[in-house]
């Protein structure tokens, strides 16, 4: 009886030991875009928590006391970087000095690939995910970071990285073909803030953001008049609002210029996970990076072609 009980106990201990050896690594990410990247590469070896939900503006986001607790308990922290999360920069520095594994997913993008906006205060444009080729570099940084935290998972991270890189390549080719449907003189993308410079460079759009690189400064009347004049002189058909920024300035320009609001684009945040949209016989989940980019391309092409 006693020996049976002992072997029963031993069984529990073995089961617990096995469970802890395979326990998922708790990771905290800032934006939904970064969380998606970590989840795609981490697979079931990680549990990813995003501090910012869909529709949250990272330029203005301040960490709450609860966020600080989550960040300090995580085994790894991934953030976008390039001052996208401008009000959390000091917090990342503090975490990095407290032996936390903290990674900016944009850290390995070569300096010459970054866009330096003329009116910025020395910071590069942080919205690199608009170009799948640059988001691929971010994916490699995530795979390397996860491998540092969990060397046993390296093979899996590399396999998933390769799958994701192939997906991003396919996405880019598909997007180029869709954009070719828009007449060249209509390839102008007018949005609330300057989140689409990399997207524009990758796919051949002239990009105009009413509010500039960050949403921290509001659009003035002069900006609104300037953009409305541009819309009229170029005879542009549509402008676009963003899911994480107030639509007021774009709606005003639409009224002043007569161009319609062509739809909502995802700029700094993904959509709700599981929100599957159907456009032109295709369906995709706007809660993922690839679904979000497909949605943006389809929305823009359908409005401007």
Which 30-89 positions form the footprint of Zn ion (CB under 5 A)?
none
CA-to-CA distance for 3 and 234, rounded, in angstroms? 86
Please, what sign has the CA dihedral across residues 71, 74, 75, 79?
negative
Sequence-separated (6 or more) residues with CB below 8 Å from residue 86: 59, 214, 216
Q: Which long-range contacts (CB under 8 A, 24 or more apart) does 94-103 make?
A: 95/71, 98/72, 100/71, 100/72, 100/74, 100/76, 101/75, 101/76, 101/77, 101/145, 101/148, 101/149, 102/76, 102/77, 103/76, 103/77, 103/78, 103/79, 103/141, 103/142, 103/145
Question: Could you tell me which residues come within 8 angstroms of residue 195 by beta carbon, excluding any fewer than 6 positions away?
Answer: 127, 130, 209, 242, 267, 268
The CB-of-12 to Zn ion minimum distance in angstroms stands at 51
Residue 41 to residue 149: CA distance in whole angstroms = 13
Q: How far is the CB of 114 from Zn ion (least distance, A)?
A: 15
Compute the half-sphere exposure of residue 14: CA atoms within 13 Å on the CB side of its CA: 6
Nearest to 216 by CA among 87, 101, 107: 87
Q: Is 142 in the site for Zn ion (CB under 5 A)?
A: no
> Could you say whether residue 195 binds Zn ion (CB under 5 A)?
yes
User: Rounded to 5 degrees, what angle do the CA atoms 286, 213, 126 make?
Assistant: 65
Closest CB to Zn ion among 59 and 136? 59
Q: CA gyration radius for the chain?
A: 22
Quote the least distance from Cβ 31 to Zn ion, whole Å.
Answer: 10
Q: Which two tokens stand for residue 188?
A: 């102008």
Fill in the per-residue mask, 149 to 188: x = in contact with Zn ion (CB under 5 A), - = not in contact: ----------------------------------------
269 binds Zn ion (CB under 5 A): no
Cα torsion for 93, 94, 95, 97, to the nearest 10°? 90
Whichever of 126 and 291 has its CB closer to Zn ion, that residue is: 126
Q: How many residues bind Zn ion (CB under 5 A)?
A: 2
For Zn ion, which stretch binds (CB under 5 A), given 2-10, 23-31, 61-69, 193-201? Answer: 193-201
Decide whether 157 or 196 has the Cβ nearer to Zn ion: 196
Nearest-approach distance from CB 213 to Zn ion, in angstroms: 7
Question: Segment contacting Zn ion (CB under 5 A): 32-40, 91-99, 117-125, 266-274?
Answer: 266-274
Query: Quick one: 127 or 178, whose CB is closer to Zn ion?
Result: 127
| Spatial separation of the C-alpha atoms in residues 191 and 205, rounded to whole Å | 12
CB nearer to Zn ion: pick between 125 and 150: 125
State which residue, 165 or 268, has the beta carbon closest to Zn ion: 268
CB of 22 to Zn ion, least distance (A): 38
Q: Which is nearer to Zn ion, 129 or 157 (CB)?
A: 129
Segment near Zn ion (CB under 5 A); pick from 68-76, 137-145, 262-270, 293-301: 262-270
CB of 118 to Zn ion, least distance (A): 17
Quote the least distance from Cβ 132 to Zn ion, whole Å: 18
Of the residues 131, 150, 268, 285, which one makes contact with Zn ion according to CB under 5 A: 268
Closer residue to Zn ion, CB minimum distance, 192 or 257: 192
Q: Which residues contact Zn ion (rule: CB under 5 A)?
A: 195, 268
């Amino acid at each position: 009886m006693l020996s049976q009980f002992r072997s029963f106990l031993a069984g529990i201990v073995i089961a617990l030991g096995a469970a802890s050896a395979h326990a998922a690594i708790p990771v905290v990410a800032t934006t939904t875009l970064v969380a998606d990247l970590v989840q795609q590469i981490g697979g079931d070896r990680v549990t990813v928590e995003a501090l910012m939900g869909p529709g949250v503006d990272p330029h203005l986001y301040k960490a709450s006391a609860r966020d600080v607790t989550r960040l300090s308990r995580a085994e790894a922290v991934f953030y976008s970087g390039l001052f996208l999360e401008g009000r959390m920069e000091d917090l990342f520095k503090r975490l990095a000095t407290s032996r936390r594994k903290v990674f900016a997913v944009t850290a390995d993008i070569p300096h010459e690939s970054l866009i330096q906006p003329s009116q910025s205060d020395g910071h590069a444009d942080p919205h690199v995910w608009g170009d799948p080729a640059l988001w691929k570099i971010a994916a490699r940084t995530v795979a390397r970071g996860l491998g540092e935290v969990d060397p046993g998972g390296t093979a899996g991270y590399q396999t998933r990285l390769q799958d994701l890189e192939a997906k991003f390549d396919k996405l880019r080719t598909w997007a180029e073909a869709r954009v070719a449907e828009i007449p060249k003189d209509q390839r102008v993308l007018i949005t609330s803030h300057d989140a689409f410079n990399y997207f524009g460079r990758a796919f051949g759009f002239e990009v105009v953001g009413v509010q500039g690189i960050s949403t921290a400064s509001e659009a003035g009347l002069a900006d609104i008049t300037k953009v409305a004049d541009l819309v009229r002189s170029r005879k542009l058909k549509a402008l676009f609002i963003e899911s994480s920024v107030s639509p007021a300035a774009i709606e005003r320009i639409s009224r002043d210029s007569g161009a319609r609001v062509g739809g909502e684009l995802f700029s700094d945040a993904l959509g709700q996970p599981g929100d599957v949209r159907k456009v032109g016989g295709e369906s995709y989940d706007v809660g993922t990076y690839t679904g979000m980019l497909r949605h943006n391309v389809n929305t823009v092409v359908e409005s401007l072609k």
